[in-house]
Amino acid sequence: MVTVAVLAFVGVRLVSGLRHSLTAQGRSLWRVIVGRIGWRHIWPVPLVLGLVVAAASLLTRIPGLNWGWWSAFGGQGNPVFGTNDSTSGTVLEWLVPAVFMTMLIPALPLFAYAEERMFRLGAQHWSSRRRAVKVVQFGLAHALIGIPIGTALALSIGGVYFMMVYLRSFRSGATSEAATLESARAHTAYNGLIVGLVIVAVVVTAAQ
C-alpha cells in the first residue's frame, strides 16, 4: 500500500509537470532552455556524473548513510523512476518506469529550472559559506524524496557544478535570470543523461 501511495503521488507530480510543459509558458521556457543547450553543457556531464557515482559508492558504505525511506519500502533509486521490488518479475517492472519516463522527459527542463531558481538564483551575492550550504542542501533535498542519504550527499557534487556554471555565466555579463537559465541547461543535460541510462535499463528489462 505504501508503494502504491508513493507511486501515485509521484505520478500526480509528473502529470502536473507534463501539463505545465504543454502550456504556452511552459513551451516557451522549454525552448529557451533546451534550444540553447550546447557542447559546453554536454561534455562535462559524464565527468560530473562519474564523480557523483564514485562518491555515492563510498558514502553509502558508511553505516546509516545507505538508508533511504524509499529503499526501506523496497524501492530502487529515485521514486520518480517507479522501480520497486514489489513489481519485480511482473509487467509493471518495466511498464511503470516506462510510463513515468514518458511523462518526465517533456518536463525535465522545467524541473531543472525550478531547482536552479531555488538553489542558485542570487548566488553572486552569497558568501562562500552560504554557497557551500546551498550546495549541500541541494543534495540532501533528494533524500526527502527517498534517495539514500549517502547518495543524496554525493549529488551535492552536481550542485557544485551547477553553481560554477551559474557564477561563470553571471561573471561573463549575464543577468541573474540569464545565469539561472544557463545553469538550468547544464542541469537538464545532466538529468538527461541519467534518464537516458534509466531508459536503457527499462528496455533491457522489457526485452528479458
- Gap between the Cα atoms of 24 and 14, Å rounded: 18
What is the reported pLDDT for 88?
A: 64
- Residue 203 vs residue 28, higher pLDDT: 28
Bridge partners of residue 84, in order along the sequence: 75
What is the reported pLDDT for 104?
A: 83
What is the reported pLDDT for 61?
A: 95
CA angle, corner 72, sides to 66 and 76, nearest 5? 75
Q: Give the tens place of pLDDT for each residue, 158-175.
A: 999 999 999 999 999 999
Start-to-end CA distance of the chain, whole Å, equals 27
Per-residue pLDDT, averaged over 94-118, amounts to 85
117: containing domain = 2-207
Contact call for residues 99 and 206 (beta carbons, < 8 A)? no
Neighbours of 149 (CB within 10 A): 20
Residue 64 cell numbers, joined: 546509516
Q: Give the tens place of pLDDT for each residue, 44-78.
A: 999 999 999 999 999 999 999 998 877 766 666 66
Quote the mean pLDDT of the chain: 86
Where would I find the H helices in 22-148? 24-34, 39-42, 45-59, 69-72, 92-119, 128-141
Q: For the whole model, what pTM was predicted? A: 0.87
Residue 56 cell numbers, joined: 555515492
What is the reported pLDDT for 93?
A: 65
Q: What is the DSSP letter of 25?
A: H
Where does the pLDDT of residue 22 fall: very low under 50, low under 70, confident under 90, or very high at 90 and above?
confident
The number of domains in the chain is 1
- Residue 80 vs residue 145, higher pLDDT: 145
